[in-house]
Amino acid sequence: MEVTGKEQDGRQEELQRNAGKQGNKLLKGAALLGGAAVLSKLLGTLQKIPLQNVAGDAAFGIYNAVYPLYILILFAATAGFPVAVSKFVAERVMEGDHPGARRIVYVSAALLMFAGLVLFLLLYFGSETIAGWIGIHQTATAIRSISFALLLSPMLAVLRGYFQGYQNMVPTAVSQVIEQLIRVITMVALLLYMVSLAYDNAWIAAGATFGSVTGAGAGLIVMAVFWRRAQRLERENGAGGREVLSSWQWAKRITLYAIPVCLGAIVMPLLTLVDTFTMPRMLEASLGSEMEAMRQFGLYNRGLPLVQLVVMIASSMSAVLVPAIAEAKARGQEERIRFRAEMSIRLAWLIGLGASFGLAFAAVPINVMLYTSSEASWTMAVLAFTALFSTVNAVSASVLQGAGAIRTPAKALLVAIVLKALGNILLLPRWGIDGAALSAVIAYAAAAGLNLVQLRRSTGVRFALRPYAVSPALGVGLMGGCLAALQGLAMLATAAWHVPERWSASAIAIMGVAGGAAVYALALLRSGGISREELRLMPELDRKLAPVLAKLRPTKSSVGSKDSK
């Protein structure tokens, strides 16, 4: 039958509408998942503060020695499988083979549950040996406690991959938030209970790590509810399909696809694990006390949650550019790739630089506000500069992946791992935890530098002196003066009105961070460090600051035409 031109046009319009709906669904799902990830990471980052406040630095140190080990093992066992499951499930769904999608879940679950069981047994019964490798025997109880999460997390990873294969991000987003919420509630409840009964630091840290077990259980229950509902709807709709591969063939395909992703995913946890296997042992050797070694390790970890928070915020703000860079690369738009890459790195640099200097300038009041004492404030100030290099490293790695250079970030992190280990060995005996903080700055700076060198080769980005050095230096200087003035006034007020130290420090920290950030941002706007191009990448911020920018620089308002080509 002959098809008229109008019918062809109608079909084309329908295809475009369907494509638009599909694109909107993907964007909404990505936004939902990104928001849930930010919220869950925020909960996970800030949960450490009550642990230190209630239990002290020794229990805090034990927790921070054990948790990176769990994350490494969890990533090694499961990191690639949600990606693999989502990919193969999506392929089966496109073919209308819903039973085949279920088969992928059953096969993946069997593989991961077996791996989780083996790793649980190794951790639980090998806890004393692993604690000996760390050099602190008090970590054994916490290792046994957290090992139970490996019985639950694998199935959770598989179900998340299944729903992502259907482009349904709601179950993953809900389960992530519930998992972190239950984890925090469990940690705080056990913390208060054990401290009230005068448990020792090893058991208190074990109670804190057990939150990962209950959190994984809660997340798994949420995913099971969504799974049961999805299967009921599928039966009601009478969805059918055909067998494509045997279970053994699926197991082979899924494993071969997942292993490279797992290897790439464990590089970042390895960097944090360097401290676990070097610092406690070396601190004990130099201090002569296991308890004091863990206390010092806890002091070292005080600044890390704040650094992680900065990196999380900056990465989420810049992540919107990565798909845009991949799209420009697919279309061969080299100029647009370069422009968008420059914008990403500029934002990362400005946010990381301001946050690093702000945390360093306000290290003492922030330390007292969050952790009750000013001890190790210098370490926190040094460690603050990892926020700059970690942010640049994370964003440049994402941009490189969007541009197709997927191996460079992993290689850069491997170099950082070696430098961190060597730095700890050389600097910690001389300067203690300050030396370890400096080695962290060096390691992340090296990783960021290697990424930027490759980014320049891949995209041709340019790093001009004024927007990267002159304007930010002016902003940092003004911010430092503002913070110094605020701290001086607060000290006078504290002495005159006899305000408690922690209240005074909290007021200084909050006003200093807010005031310093405002001064830094205005200095960047006034000096040209931030242009309309950067602001347009963040629409909400653009609407609020565009009138301010127009008043501050009325003759220099840029239109950002490059990115609208």
Structure confidence by residue, pLDDT tens digits, 327-345: 666 677 777 777 777 877 8
Q: How far is residue 302's CA from residue 325's CA, in Å, rounded to a whole number?
A: 36
Q: How far is residue 73's CA from residue 124's CA, in Å, rounded to a whole number?
A: 13
Predicted confidence at residue 420, as pLDDT, reads 94
Does 55 map to a domain?
A: yes
On whether both 540 and 556 belong to a single domain, the answer is: yes
Predicted confidence at residue 454, as pLDDT, reads 87
Q: How far is residue 213's CA from residue 204's CA, in Å, rounded to a whole number?
A: 15
Does 369 map to a domain?
A: no
Q: Which of 460, 489, 508 is the last residue of a domain?
A: 460
Predicted confidence at residue 554, as pLDDT, reads 52
Looking at per-residue pLDDT, the higher value among 114 and 39 belongs to: 114
| Cβ contact 234:98 at 8 Å | yes
Q: How far is residue 283's CA from residue 379's CA, in Å, rounded to a whole number?
A: 15
| Cβ contact 475:354 at 8 Å | yes
Does 524 map to a domain?
A: yes
**Which of the residue ranges 140-149, 276-285, 298-307, 546-555 would you say has the lowest mean pLDDT?**
546-555
Mark residue 238 as left, alpha or beta (left: phi above 0; alpha: psi -120 to 50; beta: remaining). left
User: Sorting pLDDT into bands at 50, 70 and 90, what band is 127?
Assistant: very high
On whether both 338 and 251 belong to a single domain, the answer is: no
On whether both 437 and 486 belong to a single domain, the answer is: no
When pLDDT is averaged across residues 548-552 and rounded to a whole number, the result is: 60
Helix (H/G/I), strand (E/B), else coil: 74? helix
Does 368 map to a domain?
A: no
Q: What are phi and psi of 331, to 5 degrees?
A: -90, 0
**Which of the residue ranges 199-203, 204-208, 264-268, 412-416 would you say has the lowest mean pLDDT?**
264-268
Q: Which of 460, 488, 515 is the last residue of a domain?
A: 460
Predicted confidence at residue 18, as pLDDT, reads 45
The burial of 291, by beta-carbon neighbours within 10 Å (0-12 exposed, 13-18 middle, 19 or more buried), is given as: middle
| Domain span holding position 452 | 297-361+376-460
Looking at per-residue pLDDT, the higher value among 19 and 504 belongs to: 504
Helix (H/G/I), strand (E/B), else coil: 410? helix
On whether both 385 and 525 belong to a single domain, the answer is: no
Lookup result for tokens 């990919």: 87
Would the pLDDT of 40 be above 70?
Answer: no
Residues 6+ apart with CB under 8 A from 522: 548, 552
| Cβ contact 75:269 at 8 Å | yes
Predicted confidence at residue 54, as pLDDT, reads 85
Does 328 map to a domain?
A: yes
Query: Which of these, 222, 218, 251, lies nearest to 114 by C-alpha position?
Result: 251
On whether both 72 and 200 belong to a single domain, the answer is: yes
Predicted confidence at residue 519, as pLDDT, reads 85
On whether both 410 and 548 belong to a single domain, the answer is: no
Q: How many domains does the chain have?
A: 3
DSSP letter (8 states) at residue 244: -
When pLDDT is averaged across residues 360-368 and rounded to a whole number, the result is: 89
Torsion of CA 32, 37, 39, 42, to 10 degrees: -160
| Cβ contact 508:490 at 8 Å | yes
Q: How far is residue 303's CA from residue 384's CA, in Å, rounded to a whole number?
A: 7
On whether both 554 and 496 belong to a single domain, the answer is: yes
Residue type, 452: L
On whether both 540 and 416 belong to a single domain, the answer is: no
Residues 6+ apart with CB under 8 A from 111: 81, 251, 254, 255
User: Sorting pLDDT into bands at 50, 70 and 90, what band is 238?
Assistant: low
On whether both 111 and 171 belong to a single domain, the answer is: yes
Does 502 map to a domain?
A: yes
Q: How far is residue 175's CA from residue 387's CA, in Å, rounded to a whole number?
A: 28
Maximum distance among all Cα pairs of the chain, rounded to whole angstroms: 93
User: Sorting pLDDT into bands at 50, 70 and 90, what band is 548?
Assistant: low
Q: How far is residue 406's CA from residue 484's CA, in Å, rounded to a whole number?
A: 43
Does 229 map to a domain?
A: yes
Does 117 map to a domain?
A: yes
When pLDDT is averaged across residues 542-554 and rounded to a whole number, the result is: 59
Question: Please, what sign has the CA dihedral across residues 163, 167, 168, 169?
Answer: positive
On whether both 444 and 533 belong to a single domain, the answer is: no
Residue type, 552: L
Most confident of 301-305, 323-327, 394-398: 301-305
User: Sorting pLDDT into bands at 50, 70 and 90, what band is 481?
Assistant: confident
90-117 confidence digits (pLDDT tens): 777 777 777 878 888 888 888 889 988 9
On whether both 349 and 480 belong to a single domain, the answer is: no
User: Sorting pLDDT into bands at 50, 70 and 90, what band is 484?
Assistant: confident
User: Sorting pLDDT into bands at 50, 70 and 90, what band is 225?
Assistant: very high
Predicted confidence at residue 536, as pLDDT, reads 62
431-460 confidence digits (pLDDT tens): 999 999 999 999 999 999 998 988 888 777
On whether both 216 and 71 belong to a single domain, the answer is: yes
**Which of the residue ranges 67-71, 317-321, 355-359 would you say has the lowest mean pLDDT?**
317-321
Whole-prediction pTM: 0.75
How distant, in Å, are the alpha carbons of 92, 164, 225, 348, 436 from that of 439? 48, 39, 46, 21, 5
Q: Which of 444, 460, 476 is the last residue of a domain?
A: 460
Predicted confidence at residue 236, as pLDDT, reads 60
What is the rounded average pLDDT for all residues in the chain? 78
492-505 confidence digits (pLDDT tens): 776 677 777 778 78
Lookup result for tokens 């990115």: 563
Helix (H/G/I), strand (E/B), else coil: 530? coil
